[in-house]
């Protein structure tokens, strides 16, 4: 098969499992290192003509990361498109298996079994209301945070970290900084993507609040990184 991926985490999943299948990926697809495929633009603005010219048997995408008009244009060009939906860890596992086995015709890879095992070994989190309470910014200027029904929020919950904005109507609400500071959180979790928070850019906005700088790939990507994510995130969140 010839596969084009429009999602960085799905790109890594295909490339690690069967590298010979992948012929195209977005400019943002950074893993695995040294990935040598045709670049087809961004997740939100893929080059439809470039994708079509690659004659893929399948394009893999995600309902949140990619835009429906672009996916419709690919279908109109006669290309099969597999769209994943990932809102929690269990769905990530099932969608990865659907993409790799049903979509790409592969066997379940060892890394997926290892990822399932790694997360199954995580101790049960405290009852609701226990554990740490965190705000999780994903952008600044304006400030945006994780809200309800997010994959990253589910991972944090499994690690005993309660997202204080997890009951908001929006999935990624904009919240003024003063409100974030007054939210009652005892931790701020700062990933390095989509906004690149660093030790010098982010923690200073929350004086007196412990800050956990985490690898955004481990918190937000659903792919081979899931196998290492529990241990690495637990260490960062201490």
Alpha carbon distance 90, 118 (integer Å): 13
> In this structure, what are the phi and psi dihedrals at residue 59, rounded to the nearest 5 degrees?
-110, 130
Q: State the pLDDT at residue 129.
A: 57
Sign of CA dihedral 167, 173, 177, 179: negative
Count other Cβ atoms within 10 Å, centred on residue 87: 17
- Tokens, residue 194: 């989509």
Alpha carbon distance 181, 149 (integer Å): 22
Q: State the pLDDT at residue 86.
A: 96
8 burial level (CB within 10 Å; 0-12, 13-18, 19+): buried
pLDDT per residue rounded down to tens, the chain (238 residues): 999 999 999 999 999 999 899 999 999 999 999 999 999 999 999 999 999 999 999 999 999 999 999 999 999 999 999 999 999 999 999 999 999 999 999 999 999 999 999 999 998 887 765 679 999 999 999 999 999 999 999 999 999 999 999 989 899 999 999 999 999 999 999 999 999 999 999 999 999 999 999 999 999 999 999 999 999 999 999 8
Q: State the pLDDT at residue 124.
A: 85
Q: State the pLDDT at residue 237.
A: 92
């Amino acid at each position: 098969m010839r596969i084009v991926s429009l999602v960085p985490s799905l790109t890594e999943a295909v490339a690690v499992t069967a590298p010979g299948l992948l012929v195209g990926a977005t400019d943002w697809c950074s893993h695995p290192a040294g990935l040598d495929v045709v670049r087809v633009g961004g997740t939100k603005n893929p080059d439809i003509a470039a994708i079509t010219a690659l004659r893929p048997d399948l394009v893999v995408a995600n309902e949140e990361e990619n835009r429906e008009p672009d996916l419709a244009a690919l279908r109109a060009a006669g290309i099969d498109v597999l769209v994943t939906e990932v809102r929690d860890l269990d769905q990530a596992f099932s969608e990865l298996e659907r993409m790799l086995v049903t979509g790409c015709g592969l066997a379940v890879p060892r890394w997926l079994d290892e990822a399932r095992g790694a997360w199954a070994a995580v101790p049960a989190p405290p009852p609701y209301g226990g554990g740490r309470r965190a705000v999780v910014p994903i952008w600044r200027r304006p400030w945006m945070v994780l809200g309800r029904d997010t994959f990253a929020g589910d991972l944090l919950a499994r690690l005993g970290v309660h997202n204080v904005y997890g009951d908001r109507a929006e999935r990624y609400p904009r919240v003024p900084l003063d409100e974030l500071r007054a939210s009652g959180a005892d931790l701020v979790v700062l990933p390095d993507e989509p906004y690149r928070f660093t030790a010098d850019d982010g923690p200073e906005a929350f004086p007196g609040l412990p800050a956990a700088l985490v690898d955004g790939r481990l918190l937000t990507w659903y792919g081979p990184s899931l196998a290492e994510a529990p241990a690495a995130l637990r260490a960062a969140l201490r």
